[in-house]
Amino acid sequence: MNGTHCPSCNNDIGILAVVKATLPTRIKCPHCKMRLMYTPIPWIQVIISIILYIAVLVLALSFTSTFKEVSEGMIIIIEISIIILLWQPFEFYISTYLRKNCHLNLK
């Protein structure tokens, strides 16, 4: 098997199933609902992505302190949006890497 098809039902799980999972070991097939996991898990890429994300996040959130005319509630909403939006490229990178380089197995 490869990293794109469910070993149980042999359907392509798609990238969204990997993105929705919190970890590479918590993937669920959208077709047959079987629990799946990637092996081997590329922890080096995951850790590097998290470190880069934190660096970019600190830089981006430092710019929110320059918003003087925006209310406190709106700044919180902006910061939460930044946190979520900045993680998406890293999430798609990790998902694409898993689909191309790792094997999908039943958990």
Instruction: Give 77-93 pLDDT, tens digit per residue.
Output: 988 999 999 999 998 88
Residues 36-53: tens digit of each pLDDT: 988 888 889 889 999 999
Let me know if residue 2 belongs to a domain. no
Q: Domain span at residue 38?
A: 14-106
Please determine, for residue 1, whether its predicted confidence score (pLDDT) is greater than 60.
no
Count the neighbouring beta carbons within 10 Å of the beta carbon of residue 27: 24
8 belongs to a structural domain: no
Residue 9 lies in a domain: no
Q: Is residue 84 part of a domain?
A: yes
Residue 23 falls within a domain, yes or no? Answer: yes
Residues 6+ apart with CB under 8 A from 33: none
Torsions phi, psi for 74 (to 5 deg): -70, -35
Beta bridge partners of 103: 39
pTM: 0.78
Split into its structural domains, the chain has a count of: 1
Tokens of 100: 């191309």
The verdict on residue 43 lying in a domain is: yes
Q: d(Cα 57, Cα 19) in Å, to the nearest integer?
A: 19
